[in-house]
Amino acid sequence: MTVLHHEASDRHEARIEGQNVFARLQYAGKHFSSTRRLLFRGALLLKYSLRVAFHGLRRGRSAECAAAVAGLRVALGRSGPPIAEPPPVAVASEGAQPAPPRALAGR
């Protein structure tokens, strides 16, 4: 039997990394105080700045660098969630049709 870990296959995908940062910031916005949110965002900015610098210096690491740049852009607020905007409410009203996610709209 072979165990396949899907996390490793998309670990350096820019879209997934950006969505990960967005989800972390969304969690922090819901559960942290304003001071802790600011420190958390600063930690994310430091993490992704260091990744961009590190992977930018290494040859053949364009996927990792692109993922780090995507994460940094979301942490800076320069881009929104790369997969889909979160819904304005948790539960849609009766009879409302949800819009397809942006990632699936072009397919």
Query: What value does the mean pLDDT of the chain take?
Result: 81
Cα–Cα dist 56/48, whole Å: 12
- Retrieve residue 6's tokens: 């899907």
Residue 91 has pLDDT above 50, yes or no: yes
- Our measurement of the distance from residue 21's CA atom to the centroid of its chain's CA atoms, rounded to an integer in Å, reads 3
pLDDT of the residue at 1: 81
Which of 67, 66, 68 shows the shortest CA–CA distance to 51? 68
Hey, where are the domains in the chain? 12-80
Note the pLDDT tens digit of each residue in 35-76: 999 999 999 999 999 988 888 777 767 888 888 999 999 999
Cα–Cα dist 17/23, whole Å: 10
Judge if pTM exceeds 0.85: no
Residues 6+ apart with CB under 8 A from 103: 15, 83, 84
Going by pLDDT thresholds of 50, 70 and 90, the confidence category of residue 24 is very high
**Secondary structure element (H or E) that encloses residue 52, with its range:** helix 34-57
Cα–Cα dist 62/33, whole Å: 36
